Amino acid sequence: KPQFEAGKHEVDKGKGVIRDPEVWNDVLNKVQMSVRGNKAAIIEGMVSPITGAEGNVEFFIHVVKSSDCQQLEVSSLIQEAIGLHGDGKK
């Protein structure tokens, strides 16, 4: 859930919703850097086809404890999210 990883200035005031694909990308990149820093890898991911009541988009990732695996390009998840839910902006 990107709203828990993003800074307060990036989250919609009052609703806690992130609609900006650039923020989704920033959050996923930060998560990926943290995973790599722990000698692990994101090997798969997907965007939830269901949004939250206010339109929040959720991302699921599969992490394994290995730095030898092929890393998923998290930018592909952003394109998937835009395809499923639009650009996130209302």
Alpha-carbon gap, residue 76 to 78, rounded angstroms: 5
Tens of pLDDT along 21-78?
998 999 999 999 999 999 999 999 999 999 888 888 999 999 999 878 888 999 999 9
| Residue 90 located in a structural domain | no
| Residue 39 located in a structural domain | yes
CATH number at residue 77: 3.40.50.150
DSSP-assigned letter for residue 63: E
Name the token pair of 47: 């965007």
| Residue 49 located in a structural domain | yes
Q: What pLDDT score was predicted for residue 52? A: 84
CB 17 within 8 A of CB 3: yes
Domain that holds residue 61: 2-85
Alpha-carbon gap, residue 2 to 38, rounded angstroms: 20
* Number of domain units in the chain: 1
> What SS3 class is residue 84?
helix
pTM for the full model? Answer: 0.80
Q: What pLDDT score was predicted for residue 10? A: 66
Alpha-carbon gap, residue 21 to 66, rounded angstroms: 28
**Does residue 90 have a pLDDT over 90?**
no
Q: How confident is the model at residue 7 (pLDDT cuts 50, 70, 90)?
A: low
Q: What pLDDT score was predicted for residue 19? A: 82
Q: 71 or 90: which carries more pLDDT confidence?
A: 71
